Amino acid sequence: MTTPSDSADIIPAEAESVATTASSQDKLDKGVRAEAQRRRTFAVISHPDAGKSTLTEALALHAKVISEAGAVHGKAGRKSTVSDWMEMEKARGISVSSTALQFNYRSTEASPDDLTDNVINLVDTPGHSDFSEDTYRVLTAVDAAVMLIDAAKGLEPQTLKLFQVCRHRGIPVITVINKWDRPGQTPLELLDEIHERIGLTPTPLYWPVGIAGDFRGLLRRGEDGAPREYIRFTRTAGGAKIAPEEVMDADAALAKEGSEWVTAAEESELLSATGQDHDQELFLGGQTSPVIFASAMLNFGVRQILDTLVELAPPPRAREDVTGTPREVTDPFSAVVFKVQAGMDTAHRDRLAFMRIVSGVFERGMVVTHAQTGKPFTTKYAQTVFGRERSTVESAYPGDVVGLVNATALAPGHTLYFEKKVEFPPIPSFAPEHFSILRAESAGKYKQFRRAVDQLDSEGVVQILRNDLRGDASPVMAAVGPMQFEVVAARMKAEFNVEARMEPLAYALARRTDPQSVDELNRQRGVEVFTRSDGVLLALVSDKWRLQYIQKELPDLTLEPLVAAAD
């Protein structure tokens, strides 16, 4: 029996234990919050040939994680960028797969007393429209985006589409007008185009001195549009090294650049008169976009892009789960898988599942729960990625991108968590528009063929459709763009030693259906029903007129549009 005096002894001890636990948790939360504040996780989006991979390389160069930019232009001795690792990418000079690069960077704007580096998680994305689904997956994992625009071409269709995805997801956008070292439009024309075509108010932070094709430097704008300073750049051989910068005040800039400086200063003041000065709240609210002029090829303006990201881009924030409840960054560990990629390392033939840390602390080896199956998942083999180079990661924080090796149970959109249960919304699939039968050239390599198909399907390279009529030996590939089929053929040969033959199918539309509609749909001319790997029934239809006829004559059949993720 416990006496009053015993209780008096026990209660303070229990209270002290609770207080100690609360204190430890508070310390942990502060640590996680501080680490999250250091992180900037963003993607670079653009139209093909806007210079996206070159900019990615230039950012890494300015962060001093590489000593020389990989893009050496000129046909002889051309190198590929660190973010383009597939042979197809190197051969064509385009990005067809997203890659992640993590590095530390200390802003030049940081206080001399602040010796803490920021952690940059940069996810390079495919620029080609055929791979827009891969880009969309990346945009589910970032907190900000850099929209790269070619100074000569302005806004192009793919850039517009990707911006709409950013707007839909509430991702703030920083605009970089690239290739200012080449002839192009006037800066005011480009700003007008941005405002008129996408409804964003551009708010330049830096203004070019010198017309497009005569890029001398950048005027750094003050709050009222008055020049704060002039940053003059000096070219380096081939743009392989960081371009030296000379910082001048307005008087020195006028003496150096004359009329070009006067023009830049007048245009900067005009921007202020029309309300085009930066407002952080409007930027985070998706109403404005800070603008920087640059030449990624020459490494002009690249430091300013990094400094702007550190200063203005938001750190990791709470993320809503499937019920709409926010998962705070200080909650126990959780992460969302946004990409699965195999074939990055020919020496190991393994597969990486890229996850974005949403909350808490990740520690290598921790046993977490796979939300989609409810099963435990061990994270023994965890790596950070820099292009195709990897290193083992022991711990990671909200905003970080971590690769899990040979995580065969994981697919894009899956959730991992520790202790406090959570599941994040799945990543929608785009509606496919191109269809092709896939067959192995050699019947003797059927096992390798099946393994390759399953691998590429799980990565989301293409959607794989099957039905009893065609059988497993002749699955149908469904894709947003035909170049996805080329990637399948190239990777099957390189990674599985399987020669594949493709036969286009004369279908143009895919519609979701149900088991009750299958038999009748299969009796219709120009229609064939398949089962996708996730169990969804898809009816492929030859053209929109055939679809309209069936919907009119057989209105009880289920033929639902596949809503594109960007809608």
Q: Is 25 a domain residue?
A: no
Least confident of 87-91, 232-236, 309-313, 357-361: 87-91
- pLDDT band with cut points at 50, 70 and 90 for residue 108: confident
Residues 66 and 93 in one domain: yes
Kindly report which listed range (13-17, 271-275, 436-440, 485-489) carries the lowest average pLDDT score. Answer: 13-17
Q: Is 285 annotated as a binding residue?
A: no
* Bridge partner list, 144: 42
- Domain assignment present for residue 24? The answer is no
| CA distance linking residue 127 with residue 98, whole number of Å | 9
- The CATH number that applies at residue 535 is 3.30.70.3280
Greater confidence (344 vs 168) lies with 168
- Per-residue burial over 371-406, b = 16 or more CB atoms within 10 Å of its CB, e = otherwise: bbeeeebebeebbbbbbbebeebeebbbbbbbbbbe
pLDDT at 4 over 50: no
What is the span of the domain harbouring residue 482?
434-561
Res 74 pLDDT > 60 = no
Considering the domain boundaries, does residue 227 fall inside one?
yes
pLDDT band at 2 (very low <50, low <70, confident <90, very high): very low
CA 37 – CA 317 distance, rounded (Å):
9
Single out the residue in 257, 282, 312 at which a domain terminates: 312
DSSP-derived 3-state class of residue 348: coil
What was the pLDDT predicted at 249?
96
Whole-angstrom distance, CA of residue 166 vs CA of residue 46:
12
% of the chain residues with pLDDT over 70: 85
Asked, for residue 504, whether it belongs to a domain, the answer is: yes
In sequence order, the β-bridge partners of residue 477 are 436, 464
pLDDT at 345 over 60: no
Task: Select the more confidently predicted residue: 19 or 211.
Answer: 211
DSSP lists the bridge partners of residue 538 as 512, 530
pLDDT mean over 359-380: 95
Asked whether residue 181 is domain-assigned, the answer is yes
How many residues belong to the chain?
Answer: 567
Q: How far is CA 69 from the centre of its chain?
A: 21
337 plus 456 within the same structural domain: no
* 262 vs 408, more confident: 262
In terms of domains, do 44 and 128 share one?
A: yes
* Domain assignment present for 28: no
First to last CA, the chain: 68
User: How far is Cα 244 from Cα 297, in angstroms, rounded to an integer?
Assistant: 14
Listed residues 312, 337, 367: the one ending a domain: 312
Phi, psi values for residue 434, rounded to 5°: -130, 140
Task: Give the range among 360-369, 475-484, 526-535 with minimum mean pLDDT.
Answer: 475-484
pTM of the model: 0.81
Dihedral (C-alpha) 149, 154, 158, 163: value to the nearest 10 degrees?
60
- Across 313-327, 336-350, 550-564, which has the greatest mean pLDDT? 313-327
Percent of the chain with pLDDT over 90: 57
Q: Are residues 398 and 506 in the same domain?
A: no
384 in a labelled binding site: no
Same domain (yes/no): 115, 212: yes
238 annotated to bind ligand = no
CA distance 111 to 470: 66
SS3 of 499, please? Answer: coil
The domain total for the chain is 3
Rounded to whole angstroms, the Cα distance separating 160 from 170 reads 15
Does 534 count as an annotated binding residue?
A: no
According to the model, what pLDDT value does residue 75 have? Answer: 32
Position 348 confidence tier, pLDDT thresholds 50, 70, 90:
low
Cβ neighbours, 10 Å, residue 256: 16
CB-based contacts of 171, cutoff 8 Å, min separation 6: 139, 142, 143, 144, 145, 165, 286
Q: Same structural domain for residues 294 and 356?
A: no
* Residue 126 annotated as lining a ligand binding site: yes
Over its C-alpha atoms, the chain yields an Rg (Å, rounded) of 27
Q: Which residue has the higher pLDDT, 38 or 456?
A: 38
Last residue of a domain, one of 276, 297, 312: 312
Contacts of 42 (CB under 8 A, 6+ apart): 121, 122, 123, 142, 143, 144, 145, 146, 309, 313
pLDDT at 16 over 80: no
To the nearest whole number, what is the mean pLDDT of the chain? 86
Q: Are 379 and 365 in contact (CB under 8 A)?
A: yes
Of 75-79, 263-267, 393-397, 557-561, the poorest mean pLDDT is in 75-79
- Compute the CA torsion angle 141, 145, 151, 157 (nearest 10 deg): 50
- Compute how many other C-beta atoms are within 10 angstroms of the C-beta atom of residue 52: 27
pLDDT in tens, 43-54: 998 887 888 888
Shared-domain flag, residues 279 and 143: yes
Under the banding of pLDDT at 50, 70 and 90, the label for residue 159 is confident
Q: Which two tokens stand for residue 249?
A: 């005040």
* pLDDT attached to residue 82: 47
Tokens encoding 303? 């430091």
* Conformational region of residue 555, where left means phi above 0, alpha means psi within -120 to 50, and beta covers everything else: alpha
- Cα–Cα distance, 467 to 480 (Å, whole number): 21
In sequence order, what are the residues at sequence separation of 6 or more whose Cβ sits closer than 8 angstroms to the Cβ of residue 77?
none
Q: Is residue 567 part of a domain?
A: no
CATH code of the domain covering residue 365: 3.40.50.300
Assess whether 444 and 536 both reside in one domain: yes
**Strand pairing partners for 319?**
327
Looking at the structure, tell me whether residues 329 and 301 fall in a common domain: no
Same domain (yes/no): 51, 195: yes
For 164-183, the pLDDT digits (tens) are 888 888 999 999 999 999 99
CA distance linking residue 530 with residue 533, whole number of Å: 10
Strand 39-46, strand 144-150: pairing: parallel
With cut-offs at 50, 70 and 90, classify the pLDDT of residue 11: low
Task: Tell me if 16 is assigned to some domain.
Answer: no
**Pairing of β 288-293 and β 509-512:** unpaired
Most confident range, picked from 16-20, 129-133, 239-243, 318-322: 318-322
- Residue showing tokens 């000096």: 234
Per-residue confidence (pLDDT) for residue 8, from 0 to 100:
47
Residues 162, 246 share a domain: yes
Residue 159 and residue 114 in one domain: yes
